[in-house]
Structure 1
Amino acid sequence: MLKVKTGDLDKMGLLYERHKKRLFGFFYNMNQNASLSEDLVQNVFVRMLKYKHTFTGEGSFAAWMFRTARNVNYDHFRKNKNSRFQEDVSSLQYRGNEMELEEEIDKKESVVQLNLALQRLPEDKREVLLLSKFRELKFSEIGEILGCSEGAAKVKAHRALKELRSVFLQLENKEL
């Protein structure tokens, strides 16, 4: 990014190739919409190019990039006030064996239930979980993204995980 900042704009393509999947996963886990997630990834790189002068190189690039992604996500939903999309269970395919099908259905239900539990969390808690558990960022980077200390990021992640567990169990008990 420092080379992009000094005018070597070809390096932005390299950054895009390296990080587009991570950003897509972040956005998809936030909004459950593949098309929107692709658009938001593009917006992140446009914004990174526009605000390249703000990258100092002191912190990690990933933290700066995800802070930009977080702002892009916030701006999009503030402007559009879109509803979140839920995963469709109808994508299950029969594999020929009833036992495999039952296992696949159970697994798919758990994933759907986890996604539903994630969507029921407040956005700030969902975001910290996505960054720590799904994007596997270090807590120092998460703290940098959220504008807090590493310790505070750990506490936020712990509390968010605790609440996710509670919501997941509530959903599970409703099914029984």
Structure 2
Amino acid sequence: MSLASVIQFRVPSAATDANVSASVEPLSDHDLMIAVRAGEIRRLGELFERYHRPLYGFFLRMTNQPSVGEDLVQIVFYRILKYRHTYRDEGKFTAWIYHLARKVAADHFRKHARSPIPTDPAELPETDSDAAHPSDQAESAEDITLLRAAIARLPIEHREVIVLSRIQHLEHKEIARLLECSVGAVKVRSHRALKELREVYFKIRKEKAA
């Protein structure tokens, strides 16, 4: 089965399936993946509908290349189909799909030997971190540009934890599972990433004003 045929699966439209959708509870991500694993490949279309946008956002902010982001999303779903038998009953689907997404991104960066550049950091939401975030001060287009430049200078591992926690809204325990480390280690990495981002942001801002 080609990748193109995989991503063309779609959830039935409301117009053609209104009566069914009104009476049947939608399956959870986990149940859909179990069905895919069991051979109900059409269910992959429902997972695509749910996760296409979040995955695209993840790749876009890591690469700053819309067309590349779309391609990488397709690769993720191709790998879901290819490795569907490795999905475990006790696993959480969100963590599993982002595990695949991180591997796809890593493969892309190794292949192209380039440092990814994130997109508009004005969309970064707040977390429970005690550290102040420079996005609080991004009140103008110029500030947003400076903040974007600051994020671009972060090491990939720091950029990644910011994207996963602040844009993809993954919990610390989910990120810990992805990064194969403790929750405490994730919190430390997040704190360091935000601290470095703050320092780089104000350094660039100072250079700009000089």
User: Could you say whether these structures have the same fold, taking a TM-score greater than 0.5 normalized by the shorter chain as the test?
Assistant: yes
Partner residue of 1:47? 79
Partner residue of 2:106? 74
Matched, 1:60 2:92: yes
Matched, 1:147 2:147: no
Q: 1:131 aligns with which of 161, 164, 172?
A: 164
TM-score by length of 2: 0.71
Matched, 1:173 2:196: no
Q: Determine which structure has greater relative contact order: mean sequence separation of CA pairs < 8 Å that are 6+ residues apart, divided by chain length.
A: 1
Amino acid at match of 2:58: F
Note the C-alpha offset of 1:3: 1.1
User: RMSD in angstroms over aligned alpha carbons?
Assistant: 1.9
Contact 1:87–1:112 (CA under 8 A) maintained in structure 2: no
SS of the equivalent of 1:17 reads helix
Matched, 1:36 2:38: no
Note the C-alpha offset of 1:22: 0.6
CA distance, structure 2, for counterparts of residue 143 and residue 59 of structure 1: 14
SS of the equivalent of 1:23 reads helix
The 1:69/1:87 distance shift into structure 2, 3 A limit, reads: closer
Q: Note the residue ranges of structure 2 that are not aligned, 5 or more in a row.
A: 1-32, 121-138
Note the C-alpha offset of 1:59: 3.1
Matched, 1:115 2:148: yes
CA distance, structure 1, for counterparts of residue 69 and residue 94 of structure 2: 18
Note the C-alpha offset of 1:84: 3.9
Contact 1:114–1:168 (CA under 8 A) maintained in structure 2: yes
Matched, 1:22 2:54: yes
CA distance, structure 1, for counterparts of residue 71 and residue 63 of structure 2: 12
How many residue pairs end up in the alignment?
160
Amino acid at match of 1:40: L
CA distance, structure 2, for counterparts of residue 137 and residue 117 of structure 1: 23
Amino acid at match of 2:159: R
Partner residue of 2:41? 9
Partner residue of 1:161? 194
TM-score by length of 1: 0.84
Note the C-alpha offset of 1:82: 3.9
SS of the equivalent of 2:99 reads helix
CA distance, structure 1, for counterparts of residue 117 and residue 176 of structure 2: 28
- Deviations 1:115-153, CA, capped at 9 Å, x for gaps: 211111000110011000111110010011111112211
Note the C-alpha offset of 1:83: 5.3
The 1:124/1:83 distance shift into structure 2, 3 A limit, reads: closer
Identical residues among aligned pairs (%):
45
SS of the equivalent of 1:10 reads helix
Note the C-alpha offset of 1:112: 2.0
Give the helix-richer structure, 1 or 2. Answer: 1
The 1:157/1:80 distance shift into structure 2, 3 A limit, reads: same
